[in-house]
C-alpha cells in the first residue's frame, strides 16, 4: 500500500472480529434472506440484469441485446427505449398510486410540503413544457443549481421527460465552479433559486448564478425558483420566475421515448487533476441498477416505508438515492433542506420521529458528529420506526458503526455500509439486510451481478490481504465516459490494470472474504464524503496573486474523515503575513471552488520539500500534518526545509 494512513487503517481493522447476523425481526419479512440472488447472478450476470430491467422498469421498446461490451465501452439493453420520468411517475399513477406521497419536504425553517405521485407528475409535465417553451430540445444540456427543495427533483425529472441531459451543480459550489461546469457542458438553460435556508438564515444563490452566466457564453435562459424571498435582479428576457412559467404552461407533456443509451445526466466529480470531469450516465442501465440496489439494499416495502436519504441532490447519492432509485420504486421519500443542527442538535431525530422514517441513509461524517453531540440528542425522540440504516461516502470506522447500530438503530436495525462512486452510478458493495452477516466497518461483499477483485501493485489477484479495488465485469450503471474526454476516460479508469476498472480505492480481503474499503490511494481527498482533488485546491491557492507555490494534503480527521491542509509559499514582496492573512487565502479557495474546499489549516512556509527532480513530497507533508515521525528524507533536495515546516506546524494553531 502506497500510503501510511491506509496502512494504519488496515492494522486497526485487522482486529475487528464482531459479527452480526440478520436479526429475526428483519428476516421475518425481508425481500431476500438467502443466497439465491447471488447464485442466479453468478450463473449468468447478463441474464440476471436483464431480469431486473424487465421486472423493475417499463420499456416502450424491448432491447435486442443485453450487453455490448467493447472494453472500455459498455452498452446495456441495446435497442431498448424507455423514459426515466415515465418510469418514476406516470406508471405509478396509472397503477393507482397517484395518492401515495412521493416527497415529504421539510424546509429548514420548519415549513412542510406533501407531494403525492399525482402532484409530482402534474408539476413535472408543466415544467417540462416550460423548458420546451424556452427552446430546450432533446439532447440540450440544462444546468441545475438549487437548494435542497422539491424543485430540484422536479427539474431533473422534467429534463429526463424531454430528453435533455441535466448537470446538477451542488448549491454550495462557487460561481466559478458553476461557470466551469456550464462551459464544459455548453448548457443552454440554468435553473436556480433566489436563495435557500441554511443554518437559520437565507443564503443567496442568484448572485452566484448571475456571475456564472455573465462569464459564460451558452446560457440563453435562467429559471429562478422563489425560495429564500431575498431580493434578486431579474434580467429582462433572460430570467424567468419558475412559478410564473409553470402556471402558464400546458398540463400535458408526453414523455419522450429515449434510447437506453441516451445521456441522462452529467455529474462533475474530482479526479487527480485540477479539472473536474463530467461523468456521463445513460438511461436504461443506470435506472435498472439504481432501482435494483435501492430495493434490495434497503429491503424496500414501498407501500409502508418512509425512506430518508440525507445527501444533497448535488451529489451522486442524491441523484441515485433521493430521486431516481426511490421514485422508480414508487417509494415515499423525505427531503430535508437544511443542516443537522438547526434549530437544535436533534433535528435529524426530530424528522425521523415526525415522519416515522423506516429506512435512513446517511454518511459516516454525520454519524461521527452525532457521536460528539452525545446520546441525549437521539434519546429525546422515538426512533423505533427505523428498520434499516445505511452509510455511504467514506470508510466507516467500527466505533461509529457500532454507535450507529446501537444508538440510532436500537440494536435491531441492520447497518448497510454501501461502497460506490459517482462513476459506478449505483451501489456496488454492500450487505443485503436480510441475508448478510455484517462486521462493523466492512462493506462486506459485492452485490449480485457485480464482480470485484482486489489486486496487488502488478495487477495480480489478491485472495487475502490488502491491495487495490478493481471491477472485472461491466455493470449496468457504469459511467459511459467523461464528457468530451475519451482519452482521459480510458487513462483514469482502464489504463492502470488491463481489462479492469480501477476504482482508485485501497481495499483488504479478510480471512472470511469480507471486503474492507480503505479510502483513496490517489491524490483525491475525501472531506465529509466529498471528493476534492489536492490539485484543485492547489490551483485555487496559486491563482491568488500573493501565492507562489502550494502543496495540499488530506490529513486524517476524526470527524470529517480527512481535513485539507495546505502549505503555501508566498511571492517575494508578499511574504509579510500581515498583508496576506491566512483567512484571505482560505476565502479565496472558497470563492474559486466552494466552502467545502476551504483548507482547515494553511501553513506559510519559505519553501516546500521537493525531490531532486522537483516533485513536491506530499507524503512527507501528510506525515507532518498528522504529527507522525518523519521517515526517510534522503531523497530531498534540501532537507532543512522539512525541519522548518515541522517547526511551524507545531507552533501554528489550527484554524476553524
Q: Which of 421, 472, 535, 575 binds ligand 7RM (CB under 6 A)?
A: 421
Confirm or reject binding of residue 444 to ligand 7RM (CB under 6 A).
Answer: no
- In the bound state with ligand 7RM, the residue whose beta carbon lies nearer, of 79 and 274, is 274
Residue 394 sits in the site that holds ligand 7RM (CB under 6 A): yes
Nearest residue (CB) to ligand 7RM, 145 versus 501: 501
Query: Considering only 27-35, 56-64, 336-344, 514-522, which stretch makes contact with ligand 7RM by CB under 6 A?
Result: 514-522
| 117 scored as a contact of ligand 7RM (CB under 6 A) | no
548, exposed or middle or buried, with CB in 10 Å at 0-12, 13-18, 19+?
Answer: middle
Residue 432 in the binding site for ligand 7RM (CB under 6 A): no
Query: From CA 303, how far away is CA 220, in angstroms rounded?
Result: 42
Tell me the CA distances in angstroms from 427 to 286, 297, 363, 566, one per residue in order. 11, 8, 14, 33
CB of 441 to ligand 7RM, least distance (A): 9
Q: Should residue 623 be labelled a site residue for ligand 7RM when binding is judged by CB under 6 A?
A: no
Q: Which of 236, 169, 247 is nearest to 208 (CA)?
A: 169
* 556 forms part of the interface with ligand 7RM (CB under 6 A): no
Q: Confirm or reject binding of residue 365 to ligand 7RM (CB under 6 A).
A: no
CB of 531 to ligand 7RM, least distance (A): 5
290 in contact with ligand 7RM (CB under 6 A)? no
Backbone angles phi, psi at 280, to 5 degrees: -100, 125
Comparing CA positions, the residue from 211, 280, 311, 288 lying closest to residue 479 is 280
Q: For the sheet containing 388-392, what is the strand order?
A: 112-116, 101-106, 333-336, 307-309, 359-362, 388-392, 415-418
- Cβ nearer to ligand 7RM, comparing 326 with 395: 395
CA distances from 213 to 178, 189, 222, 402, 547 (A): 9, 10, 9, 47, 28
Task: List the one residue from 115, 297, 392, 540 that touches ligand 7RM (CB under 6 A).
Answer: 392
221 counts as binding ligand 7RM under rule CB under 6 A: no
Under the criterion CB under 6 A, does residue 56 sit at the interface with ligand 7RM?
A: no
Among 180, 210, 261, 505, binds ligand 7RM (CB under 6 A): 505
User: What angle do helix axes 45-56 and 284-297 make, rounded to 10 degrees?
Assistant: 90
The answer to whether the beta carbons of residues 279 and 303 sit under 8 Å apart is: no
The yes or no reply on residue 269 touching ligand 7RM (CB under 6 A) is yes
* Alpha-carbon gap, residue 453 to 461, rounded angstroms: 7
Q: According to the binding rule CB under 6 A, does residue 529 interact with ligand 7RM?
A: yes
Contact stretch for ligand 7RM (CB under 6 A) within 54-62, 210-218, 420-428, 578-586: 420-428
Q: Rounded to an integer, what distance in angstroms lies between the CA atom of residue 469 and that of residue 500? A: 10
CB nearer ligand 7RM, residue 125 or residue 430: 430
Contact 176, 593 (CB under 8 A): yes
Which CB, 368 or 520, lies closer to ligand 7RM? 520
CA 519-520-523 angle, to 5 degrees, is 150
Helix (H, G, I), strand (E, B) or coil at 348: helix
Residue 422 binds ligand 7RM, judged by CB under 6 A: yes
519 is a site residue for ligand 7RM (CB under 6 A):
yes
Q: Which of 80, 107, 163, 395 binds ligand 7RM (CB under 6 A)?
A: 395
* CA-based radius of gyration for the chain: 24
Contact between 317 and ligand 7RM by CB under 6 A: the answer reads yes
> Is the dihedral angle over the CA atoms 589, 577, 524, 432 positive or is it negative?
negative
Is residue 426 a contact point for ligand 7RM (CB under 6 A)? Answer: no
Q: Which of 520, 586, 600, 618 binds ligand 7RM (CB under 6 A)?
A: 520
Phi then psi for residue 128, to 5 deg, are -60, -40
Residue 417 sits in the site that holds ligand 7RM (CB under 6 A) = yes
Q: Which residues in this chain contact ligand 7RM in the complex, by CB under 6 A?
A: 269, 315-317, 392-395, 417-422, 443, 503-505, 517, 519-520, 526, 529, 531
Amino acid at each position: 500500500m502506497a500510503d501510511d494512513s491506509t496502512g494504519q487503517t488496515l492494522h486497526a481493522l485487522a482486529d475487528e472480529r464482531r459479527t452480526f447476523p440478520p436479526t429475526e425481526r428483519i428476516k421475518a419479512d425481508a425481500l431476500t434472506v438467502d443466497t439465491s440472488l447471488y447464485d442466479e447472478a453468478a450463473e449468468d450476470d447478463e441474464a440476471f440484469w436483464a431480469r431486473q430491467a424487465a421486472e423493475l422498469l417499463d420499456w416502450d421498446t424491448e432491447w435486442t441485446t443485453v450487453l455490448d461490451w467493447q472494453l472500455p465501452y459498455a452498452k446495456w439493453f441495446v435497442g431498448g427505449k424507455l423514459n426515466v420520468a415515465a418510469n418514476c411517475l406516470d406508471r405509478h399513477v396509472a397503477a393507482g398510486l397517484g395518492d401515495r406521497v412521493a416527497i415529504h419536504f421539510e424546509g429548514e425553517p420548519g415549513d412542510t410540503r406533501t407531494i403525492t405521485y399525482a402532484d409530482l407528475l402534474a408539476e413535472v409535465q408543466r415544467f417540462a413544457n416550460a423548458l420546451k417553451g424556452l427552446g430546450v430540445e432533446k439532447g440540450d444540456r440544462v444546468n441545475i443549481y438549487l437548494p435542497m427543495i422539491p424543485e430540484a427533483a422536479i427539474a431533473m425529472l422534467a429534463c429526463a421527460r424531454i430528453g435533455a441531459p441535466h448537470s446538477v451543480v451542488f448549491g454550495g459550489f462557487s460561481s466559478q465552479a458553476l461557470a466551469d461546469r456550464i462551459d464544459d457542458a455548453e448548457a443552454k438553460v440554468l435553473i436556480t433559486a433566489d436563495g435557500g435556508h441554511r443554518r437559520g438564515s437565507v443564503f443567496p444563490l442568484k448572485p452566484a448564478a448571475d456571475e456564472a452566466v455573465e462569464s459564460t457564453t451558452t446560457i440563453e435562459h435562467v429559471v429562478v425558483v422563489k425560495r429564500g424571498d431575498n431580493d434578486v435582479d431579474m434580467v429582462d428576457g433572460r430570467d424567468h420566475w419558475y412559478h410564473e412559467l409553470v402556471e402558464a404552461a400546458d398540463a400535458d407533456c408526453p414523455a419522450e421515448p429515449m434510447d437506453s443509451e441516451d445521456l441522462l445526466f452529467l455529474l462533475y466529480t474530482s479526479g487527480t487533476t485540477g479539472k473536474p470531469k463530467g461523468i456521463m450516465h445513460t438511461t436504461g442501465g443506470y435506472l435498472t441498477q439504481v432501482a435494483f440496489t435501492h430495493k434490495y439494499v434497503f429491503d424496500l416495502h414501498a407501500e409502508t416505508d418512509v425512506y430518508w436519504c440525507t445527501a444533497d441532490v448535488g451529489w451522486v447519492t442524491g441523484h441515485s438515492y433521493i430521486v431516481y432509485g426511490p421514485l422508480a420504486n414508487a417509494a415515499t421519500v423525505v427531503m430535508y433542506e437544511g443542516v443537522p443542527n438547526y434549530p437544535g442538535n436533534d433535528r435529524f431525530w426530530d424528522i425521523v420521529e415526525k415522519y416515522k422514517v423506516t429506512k435512513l441513509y446517511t454518511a459516516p461524517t454525520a454519524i461521527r458528529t452525532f457521536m460528539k453531540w452525545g446520546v441525549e440528542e437521539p434519546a429525546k425522540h422515538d426512533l423505533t420506526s427505523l428498520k434499516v440504516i445505511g452509510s455511504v461516502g467514506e470508510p466507516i470506522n467500527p466505533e461509529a458503526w457500532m454507535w450507529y447500530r446501537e444508538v440510532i438503530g436500537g440494536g435491531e436495525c441492520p447497518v448497510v455500509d454501501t461502497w460506490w462512486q459517482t462513476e459506478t452510478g449505483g451501489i456496488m458493495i454492500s450487505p443485503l439486510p436480510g441475508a448478510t452477516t455484517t462486521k462493523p466497518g466492512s462493506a462486506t461483499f459485492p452485490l449480485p451481478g457485480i464482480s470485484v477483485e482486489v489486486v496487488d501493485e502488478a495487477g495480480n489477484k489478491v485472495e487475502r490481504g490488502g491491495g487495490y479495488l478493481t471491477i472485472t465485469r461491466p455493470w449496468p450503471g457504469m459511467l459511459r465516459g467523461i464528457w468530451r474526454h475519451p482519452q482521459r476516460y480510458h487513462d483514469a479508469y482502464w489504463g492502470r490494470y488491463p481489462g479492469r476498472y480501477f476504482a482508485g480505492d485501497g481495499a483488504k480481503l479478510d480471512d472470511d472474504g469480507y471486503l474492507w474499503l480503505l479510502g483513496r490511494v490517489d491524490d483525491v481527498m475525501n472531506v465529509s464524503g466529498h471528493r476534492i482533488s489536492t490539485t484543485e485546491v492547489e490551483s485555487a491557492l496559486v491563482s491568488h496573486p500573493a501565492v507562489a507555490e502550494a502543496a495540499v494534503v488530506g490529513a486524517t480527521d476524526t470527524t470529517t474523515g480527512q481535513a485539507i491542509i495546505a502549505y503555501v509559499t508566498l511571492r517575494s514582496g508578499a511574504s509579510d503575513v500581515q498583508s496576506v492573512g491566512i483567512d484571505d487565502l482560505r476565502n479565496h479557495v472558497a470563492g474559486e471552488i466552494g466552502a467545502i474546499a476551504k483548507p482547515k489549516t494553511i501553513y506559510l512556509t519559505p519553501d516546500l520539500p521537493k525531490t531532486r527532480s522537483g516533485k513536491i513530497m506530499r507524503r512527507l507533508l501528510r506525515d507532518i500534518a498528522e504529527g507522525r515521525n518523519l521517515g526517510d528524507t534522503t531523497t530531498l533536495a534540501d532537507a532543512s526545509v522539512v525541519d522548518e515546516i515541522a517547526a511551524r506546524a507545531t507552533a501554528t494553531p489550527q484554524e476553524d
